[in-house]
Chain A
Amino acid sequence: MDALAAGSSPVHALCPLAKLFATIIYIVVVVSFGKYDLAGLVPMVLWPVLLFEISGIPVRTCFHKLRFVLPLVLAVGLFNPLFDRAPYLALGGITISGGAVSMVTLMSKGTFCLMASFLLMATTRIDALCAALRRLHVPGIFLTLLLLTYRYVGVMTEEVAIMTDAYKLRAPGQKGVHYTAWGSFLGQLLLRSMDRAEELYAAMRLRGFHDHFHYAEAAPCTAKDAVYLVICIAAFLLLRFVNVAALLGSLLVR
Chain B
Amino acid sequence: MIAFQNVSFSYEKERPVLQNLSFSIGDGEAVGLIGANGAGKSTVMKVLLGLLPCEGKVLVDGIEVGHGTLYEIRRKLGFVLQNSDHQMFMPTVYEDMIFGPLNYGASRAEAEAHADAALAQLGIPALKHRHNHKLSGGEKRMAAIATILAMQPEAILMDEPTAALDPYNRRLVINIIRSLNQTKLITSHDLDMIRDTCSRVILLSGGTIAADGDAETILRDRALLEANRMELPLSLQ
Name A residues whose Cβ lies closer than 8 Å to a Cβ of B. 2-3, 6, 125-127, 151, 154, 158, 196, 199-200, 202-210, 214, 217
Contacts and interface: CB of A to CB of B under 8 A. Distances in A.
A145 B171 CA distance: 40
The winner among A202, A204, A207, A208 for most chain B CB atoms within 10 A is A207
A3 B92 CA distance: 9
B74 interface: yes
Contact of B100 (A3, A196, A208): A208
A126 B147 CA distance: 21
B75 A202 contact: no
Interface string B59-92: 0000000000011001101010101011101011
Nearest to A209: B103
Interface string B15-43: 00000000000000000000000000000
B30 to A, nearest CB: 21
A210 B147 CA distance: 18
Main secondary structure of the interface of B (DSSP, over half): helix
List the 4 closest A-B pairs by CB distance, nearest first.
A208-B103, A207-B100, A2-B91, A214-B102
B99 interface: yes
Contacts of A200: 86-87, 89
B103 A214 contact: yes
Main secondary structure of the interface of A (DSSP, over half): helix
A207 B83 contact: no
Contacts of B115: none
Contacts of B92: 2, 6
B89 A206 contact: no
Contacts of B89: 151, 200, 203-204
B47 interface: no
Contacts of B99: 204, 207, 209, 214
A11 B29 CA distance: 53
A203 B74 contact: no
Contacts of A154: 133
A206 B131 CA distance: 22
Contacts of A158: 85
Nearest to A127: B95
12 contacts: A199-B81, A199-B83, A199-B86, A202-B51, A203-B79, A206-B74, A206-B77, A208-B75, A208-B103, A209-B103, A214-B103, A214-B108
Interface residues of B, number: 29
Nearest to B79: A206
B151 interface: yes
Contacts of A204: 89, 99
A31 to B, nearest CB: 31
Given A2-B131, A199-B83, A210 B103 contact: yes
B33 to A, nearest CB: 18
Contact of A203 (B77, B86, B104): B86
Interface string B104-127: 100010000000000000000000
A230 B147 CA distance: 42
Contacts of B83: 199
Nearest to B98: A214
B212 to A, nearest CB: 26
B49 interface: yes
A207 B104 CA distance: 8
A209 B96 CA distance: 12
B129 to A, nearest CB: 8
Nearest to B105: A208
Nearest to B147: A207
Contacts of B103: 207-210, 214
Contacts of A126: 91
Nearest to A126: B91
Contact of A208 (B51, B74, B91, B133): B74
A127 B90 CA distance: 10
